[in-house]
A = this chain, B = another copy of it.
Amino acid sequence: MAISSDILRGHTDTILLRFLLEQDSYGYQINKKIQTITSNDYELKEATLYTAFRRLEDLGYIISYWGDENTGARRRYYAITDLGKQAYNNYLNEWEQSKKLIESLIRG
């Protein structure tokens, strides 16, 4: 079953930060990982992906730098900041809270 983007909305930033917590990475790679993990059930649309990176950088949660590939397409790498790590933890807490809230509201 396809899951509506309205339900996933609000988790994009958390998802991206989670991958950057493991290691610096770039858009295309993160999206591939998402597809692998979800058995191709889910992917971020490119426009969503790149606007999310901009947003996170504007918020100071990540920084970006160009990779030094000497072959193939250029890659813009992202790294999570300390502020980004704090934000990630806050997002996780918020998720735990909202799960309970939603559960309490959608069942009779």
Contacts and interface: CB of A to CB of B under 8 A. Distances in A.
Interface in A14-29: 14-15, 18-19, 21-22
Interface residues of A, number: 35
A74 to B, nearest CB: 26
Contacts of A9: 6-7, 9-10
Contact of A95 (B22, B37, B102): B102
B10 A101 contact: no
B106 A3 contact: no
Interface of A: 1, 3-4, 6-11, 14-15, 18-19, 21-22, 34, 37-38, 41-42, 91-95, 97-99, 101-102, 104-108
